[in-house]
């Protein structure tokens, strides 16, 4: 029930609407219960068994006094208006009670509709925002498709299975209690039998509900795997087609989909059992009540109209109990999906949020449109000052995993360029990921201008970095919005200037709509070099203090590489930079080069110094035939 209470906690933003819905549900229950005793005088008049009541009570403070007043009014109507007119009046009150009952039932649904949809919106927003703030390490363990399933299918299952039946959860107990109160007043012995049946039904339904909750979790997990498999296949469609693996992938998907069908069918069998089971038990009880109650009518201990009203009251218990049991089944089914959502929401971010600002003017966004394209200056102090320093840094991705970095000691003075070289798997990209705190070091520390990175506010810290990676990360949006991404207060002139610095303006204006051209999913309408130059334009516009260039030209042809290199040289002018490159020709002019091997720095120096040593760096150069 902790999950259910958590869900109800979202209703705090909708207290007014919830209060109105509860009020209307209470009135629905009231008029449902009121309609029960109204039938009693109807049947008494019809069967000519109306007891003559000549005096009205002074005040109505109990059920007996209410019954006395009702009998008095019916007697008055029969005496003054006749039996048929009295029946007409009683029928009018029956219609009025049912009209008000259904009116308030609709109003309860009317007020709850924005509450249900609002809670789902809030839940999905919180889940999405939480996912964006989780560290990158979390996503190496989780499949993207499974996470997509939780934010779509699981959240929607919560709405359809839990929130859609909240009206029943709140309304039906009032009706059941009211109807039982009337039944106890009429015949405690019959009511005791009914209550025993309800307890038995509750035990049966509760046991099946627990199994339903477990089965629902399994169904949603399988659905997550289906989404994951689909997402992976669409992402790797080129490889699937090139290897002729369409049928193979289809068979794997069909097996998973068939498993989902089997699990979902069993789940629906159990859920759909609740309504007929409850109805059968109720009808069985009615049959027993008819036998037992008819004897009391024949024996003169109960009036026929009263007995029929009792049966009607019991029917008023059966239907809400059936609805309530169905709602309970749905709640159990939805809780399985909600627990999968909570499994993500309860993940804690291990990156401790610092509180220290960066001082000065804060984060400046955009490059002055009138600035020289080759003189984009970084911030953070004069060249050669403290800058970035790694102090005996060690790192592993998991607590029980292998150590990826060992005793890394690096200093990048402000305004200088440090290049990382070495074979694949040496730890170069891991070092780059530690700078903007995508991860924190397992041992040692990293400082910026003499302060530990963990002391800074993480959002403000990351605003000082500009990252251009091997894979150009773009979004299905316009060229303009991809360059401006995440930045406010930017003018079109600044965007155009950033594009010119990045050698991107010419190809942008050649597109059909210029800067308003949509580039497709992940920029698929552009070439690799064009996509990379857009990411550089985005970095230029951000005007960062520190640049991280992670193999930014490794996947480009010679012409695209030349244009991108020119753009990078303009972007790096006067800035602190960490450069990773497999092509050593691109890092010869770096102020310092560090060579890594299996997470350790084995050489460090300038290009000329490392060549003279004749070590690992010289071998790398000779392999690439770089003079």
* 385-440 residue pLDDT tens: 678 999 999 999 887 888 999 999 999 998 899 999 888 888 888 999 899 888 88
Residue 599 has pLDDT above 70, yes or no: yes
The CA-based dihedral angle spanning residues 259, 261, 262, 263, taken in that order and rounded to the nearest 10 degrees: 90
- pLDDT value of position 59: 66
pLDDT band of residue 626 (cuts 50, 70, 90) is: very low
Share of the chain above pLDDT 90, in %: 10
- pLDDT value of position 374: 36
Q: Give the integer Cα–Cα distance in Å for 256 and 265.
A: 14
**At the top level of CATH, which class does the domain 2-345 belong to?**
mainly alpha
pLDDT band of residue 210 (cuts 50, 70, 90) is: low
Question: What is the length of the chain?
Answer: 627
Q: Where are the domains of the chain?
A: 2-345, 477-543
Question: What is the DSSP code (8-state) at residue 576?
Answer: E
Cα separations (Å) of 459 from 43, 354, 434, 474, 577? 75, 9, 15, 21, 20
Q: Which of 203-207, 258-262, 281-285, 376-380 comes out lowest in average pLDDT?
A: 376-380
- Strand, coil or helix: 528: helix
Cα separations (Å) of 549 from 51, 52, 498, 535? 96, 97, 17, 11
Q: Residue 40: name the closest of 98, 93, 80, 107 by CA.
A: 93
| pLDDT (tens digit per residue) in 350-372 | 776 665 554 433 334 444 333 33
Q: Give the integer Cα–Cα distance in Å for 39 and 616.
A: 98
- pLDDT value of position 359: 44
Can you read off the two tokens belonging to residue 525? 């309408």
Residue 474 CA neighbour count, 13 Å, CB half: 31
pLDDT band of residue 522 (cuts 50, 70, 90) is: confident
- Strand, coil or helix: 417: strand
Q: What is the mean pLDDT of residues 276-283?
A: 68
**Contact in structure between 523 and 531 (CB atoms under 8 Å):** yes
565-589 residues labelled b (16+ CB within 10 A) or e (exposed)? bbbbebbbbebbbbbbbbebebbbe
Residue 577 has pLDDT above 60, yes or no: yes
Q: Give the integer Cα–Cα distance in Å for 175 and 313.
A: 10
Q: Is the dihedral of CA 199, 201, 202, 207 positive or negative?
A: positive
Identify the top-confidence range among 144-158, 482-496, 567-581. 482-496
The helix (H) or strand (E) run that includes residue 573 is none
Q: Which of 128-142, 318-332, 568-582 comes out lowest in average pLDDT?
A: 318-332
The better pLDDT of the pair 290, 115 is held by 115
- pLDDT value of position 5: 75
Q: Residue 197: name the closest of 297, 294, 286 by CA.
A: 286
Q: What is the mean pLDDT of residues 439-443?
A: 91
The CA-based dihedral angle spanning residues 293, 298, 299, 301, taken in that order and rounded to the nearest 10 degrees: 60
Can you read off the two tokens belonging to residue 291? 């036998």
- pLDDT value of position 142: 73
Question: What is the DSSP code (8-state) at residue 57?
Answer: -
- pLDDT value of position 332: 72
- pLDDT value of position 207: 59
Q: Give the integer Cα–Cα distance in Å for 315 and 317.
A: 5
Q: Give the integer Cα–Cα distance in Å for 618 and 607.
A: 9
The better pLDDT of the pair 379, 310 is held by 310
Instruction: Report phi then psi at 12, rounded to 5.
Output: -55, -30
**Contact in structure between 370 and 39 (CB atoms under 8 Å):** no
Residues 494, 496, 501, CA angle at the centre, nearest 5°?
Answer: 95
The better pLDDT of the pair 119, 361 is held by 119
- pLDDT value of position 368: 36
| pLDDT (tens digit per residue) in 59-82 | 655 555 555 566 666 666 666 776
- Strand, coil or helix: 546: strand
> How many other C-beta atoms are found inside a 10 Å radius of the C-beta of residue 410?
18
Q: Give the integer Cα–Cα distance in Å for 418 and 577.
A: 6
Q: Are strands 443-448 and 451-452 parallel, antiparallel or unpaired?
A: antiparallel
Q: Give the integer Cα–Cα distance in Å for 48 and 45.
A: 5
Q: Give the integer Cα–Cα distance in Å for 79 and 74.
A: 9
- CA distance from start to end of the chain: 70
The residues that bridge with 549 in the sheet, in sequence order, are 468, 579
Cα 336 to chain centroid distance, Å, stands at 15
Residue 193 has pLDDT above 90, yes or no: no
Q: Is the dihedral of CA 240, 245, 247, 252 positive or negative?
A: negative
Cα separations (Å) of 256 from 153, 463, 473, 550? 17, 43, 31, 38
Q: Residue 341: name the closest of 204, 220, 193, 202 by CA.
A: 220
Identify the top-confidence range among 86-90, 387-391, 558-562. 387-391
- Strand, coil or helix: 543: coil
Sheet holding 405-412, edge to edge: 405-412, 388-395, 443-448, 451-452
- pLDDT value of position 145: 74
Q: Give the integer Cα–Cα distance in Å for 400 and 505.
A: 49
> How many other C-beta atoms are found inside a 10 Å radius of the C-beta of residue 492?
11
The CA-based dihedral angle spanning residues 381, 384, 385, 391, taken in that order and rounded to the nearest 10 degrees: 130
Cα separations (Å) of 19 from 1, 12, 122, 242, 327? 22, 11, 19, 60, 20
Residue 617 has pLDDT above 70, yes or no: yes
Q: Which of 36-50, 178-192, 482-496 comes out lowest in average pLDDT?
A: 36-50
**DSSP secondary structure, 194-230, as one string:** HHHHHHHHHHHHHHHHHHHHHHHHHHHHHHHHHHHHH
The better pLDDT of the pair 292, 147 is held by 147
């Amino acid at each position: 029930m902790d999950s259910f209470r958590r869900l109800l906690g979202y209703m705090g933003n909708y207290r007014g609407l919830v209060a109105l819905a509860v009020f209307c549900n209470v009135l629905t229950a009231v008029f449902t219960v009121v309609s029960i005793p109204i039938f009693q005088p109807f049947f008494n008049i019809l069967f000519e068994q109306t007891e003559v009541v000549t005096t009205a009570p002074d005040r109505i403070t109990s059920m007996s006094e209410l019954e006395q007043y009702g009998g008095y009014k019916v007697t008055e109507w029969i005496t003054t208006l006749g039996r048929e007119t009295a029946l007409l009046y009683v029928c009018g009150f029956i219609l009025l009670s049912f009209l008000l009952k259904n009116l308030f039932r609709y109003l309860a649904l009317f007020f709850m509709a924005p509450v249900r949809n609002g809670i789902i919106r809030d839940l999905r927003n919180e889940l999405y925002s939480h996912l964006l703030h989780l560290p990158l390490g979390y996503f190496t363990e989780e499949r993207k498709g499974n996470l997509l399933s939780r934010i779509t299918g699981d959240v929607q299952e919560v709405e359809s299975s839990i929130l859609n039946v909240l009206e029943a959860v709140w309304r039906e107990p009032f009706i059941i209690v009211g109807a039982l109160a009337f039944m106890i007043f009429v015949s405690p012995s019959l009511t005791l039998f009914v209550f025993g049946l309800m307890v038995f039904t509750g035990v049966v339904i509760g046991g099946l509900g627990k199994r339903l909750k477990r089965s629902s979790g399994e169904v949603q997990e399988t659905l997550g795997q289906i989404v994951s498999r689909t997402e992976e296949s669409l992402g790797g469609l080129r490889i699937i087609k090139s290897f002729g693996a369409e049928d193979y992938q289809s068979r794997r998907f069909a097996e998973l989909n068939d498993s989902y069908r089997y699990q979902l069918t069993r789940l629906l069998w159990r859920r759909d059992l609740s309504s007929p089971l409850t109805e059968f038990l109720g009808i069985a009880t009615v049959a027993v009540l008819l036998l037992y109650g008819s004897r009391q009518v024949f024996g003169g201990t109960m009036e026929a109209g009263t007995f029929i009203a009792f049966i009607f009251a019991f029917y008023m218990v059966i239907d809400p109990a059936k609805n309530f049991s169905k709602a309970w089944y749905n709640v159990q089914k939805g809780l399985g999906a909600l627990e999968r959502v909570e499994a993500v929401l309860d993940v804690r971010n291990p990156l401790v949020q610092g509180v220290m600002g960066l001082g000065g003017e804060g984060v400046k966004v955009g490059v002055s449109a009138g600035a020289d394209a080759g003189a984009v200056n970084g911030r953070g102090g004069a060249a050669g000052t403290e800058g970035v320093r790694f102090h005996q840094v060690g790192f592993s991705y998991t607590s029980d995993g292998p150590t990826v970095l060992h005793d890394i000691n690096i200093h990048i003075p402000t305004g200088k360029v440090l290049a990382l070289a070495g074979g694949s798997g040496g730890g170069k990209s891991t070092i780059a990921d530690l700078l903007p705190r995508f991860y924190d070091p397992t041992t040692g520390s990293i400082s910026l201008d003499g302060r530990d990175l963990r002391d800074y506010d993480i959002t403000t810290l990351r605003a000082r970095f500009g990252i251009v990676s091997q894979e150009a990360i773009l979004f299905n949006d316009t060229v303009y919005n991809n360059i401006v991404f995440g930045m406010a207060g930017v003018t079109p002139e600044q965007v155009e200037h950033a594009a010119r610095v990045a050698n991107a303006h010419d190809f942008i204006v050649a597109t059909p709509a210029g800067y308003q051209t949509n580039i497709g999913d992940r920029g698929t309408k552009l070439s690799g070099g064009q996509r990379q130059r857009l990411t550089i334009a985005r970095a230029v516009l951000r005007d960062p203090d520190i640049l991280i260039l992670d193999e930014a030209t490794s996947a480009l042809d010679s012409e695209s590489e030349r244009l991108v290199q020119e753009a990078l040289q303009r972007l790096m002018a006067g800035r602190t930079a960490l450069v990773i490159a497999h092509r050593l020709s691109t890092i010869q002019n770096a102020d310092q080069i560090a060579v890594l091997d299996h997470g350790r720095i084995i050489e460090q120096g300038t290009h000329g110094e490392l060549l003279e040593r004749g070590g690992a760096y010289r071998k790398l150069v000779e392999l690439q035939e770089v003079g």
